[in-house]
């Protein structure tokens, strides 16, 4: 009996696709918790450059770099290709840069497997209400008409909630806190400490905030003005 080559090729194709899907789903629980939203704050800027390397050409030897990688999925673990991920954070001095170079700001788009990656500086803490806000990186993630504004925090930061002076911020949310990993020295440098961290982002495509709602932007303005005057 001859080999049915068409059936054989179809079987191989399905096996490869299933294996690929299994690899993707290993990064995602069957029903992941939707990533919590968080305050936008007053320092978001539209039209940041599309780039994954957000560091300036010269880095102080006391500063530290970090690469953030992850997947953007829906709550059914479907990996979302082409999602827009906007990132901004303070420099090591706790100051946000809005000059021409827009350091520590950028935009990346998820690949065909829903993955994203960028490298930036470990943000400094800044003073608020006689204390310090924990180090954090801001995200604004958009897929179709759904937009999530949130922040990423580091698990070893002593200023996480309840010590965070911003009581309306999400530094106590489990979905926003991650362990950073020691990755040695940043490539191309002799002394810059280098970290890596994984941050998967799960969007609610049914009940999530629609771009046209403007909810996160309004909340961001309110919190931003409050931060400026406390």
Q: Which residues are catalytic?
A: 96, 126, 133, 136, 138
Tell me which H or E stretch contains 181: strand 181-185
Cis before 162? omega within 30: yes
State the pairing for strand pair 131-132/136-143.
unpaired
- CB proximity list for 220: less than 8 A, separation 6 or greater: 39, 40, 41, 42, 44, 149
Q: Are 122 and 65 in contact (CB under 8 A)?
A: yes
Euclidean distance between the first and final Cα of the chain, in Å?
82
- CB proximity list for 52: less than 8 A, separation 6 or greater: 106, 108, 117, 118, 119
Q: Are 73 and 114 in contact (CB under 8 A)?
A: yes
Angle 42-45-51 from CA coordinates, rounded to 5°: 135
Q: How far, in Å, CA of 124 to CA of 118, rounded?
A: 18
- CB proximity list for 28: less than 8 A, separation 6 or greater: 71, 73, 77, 79, 200, 202
């Amino acid at each position: 009996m001859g080999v049915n080559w068409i059936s054989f090729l179809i079987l191989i194709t399905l096996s490869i696709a299933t294996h690929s899907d299994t690899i993707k789903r290993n990064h995602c629980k069957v029903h992941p918790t939707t990533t919590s939203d968080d305050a936008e704050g007053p320092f978001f800027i539209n039209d940041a450059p599309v780039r994954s390397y957000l560091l300036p050409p010269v880095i102080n030897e006391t500063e530290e770099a970090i690469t953030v990688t992850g997947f953007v999925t829906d709550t059914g673990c479907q990996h979302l290709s082409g999602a827009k991920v906007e990132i901004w954070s303070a420099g090591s001095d706790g100051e946000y840069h809005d000059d021409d170079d827009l350091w520590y700001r950028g935009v990346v788009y998820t690949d065909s497997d829903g993955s994203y990656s960028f490298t930036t500086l470990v943000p400094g803490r800044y003073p608020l209400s006689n204390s310090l806000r924990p180090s954090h990186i801001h995200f604004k993630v958009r897929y179709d008409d759904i937009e999530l504004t949130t922040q990423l925090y580091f698990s070893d930061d002593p200023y996480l909630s309840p010590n965070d002076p911003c009581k309306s911020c999400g530094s106590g949310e489990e979905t926003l806190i991650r362990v950073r990993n020691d990755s040695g020295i940043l490539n191309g440098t002799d002394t810059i400490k280098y970290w890596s961290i994984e941050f998967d982002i799960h969007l609610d495509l049914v009940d999530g905030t629609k771009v046209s709602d403007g909810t996160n932007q309004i909340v961001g303005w309110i919190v931003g003005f409050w931060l400026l005057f406390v």
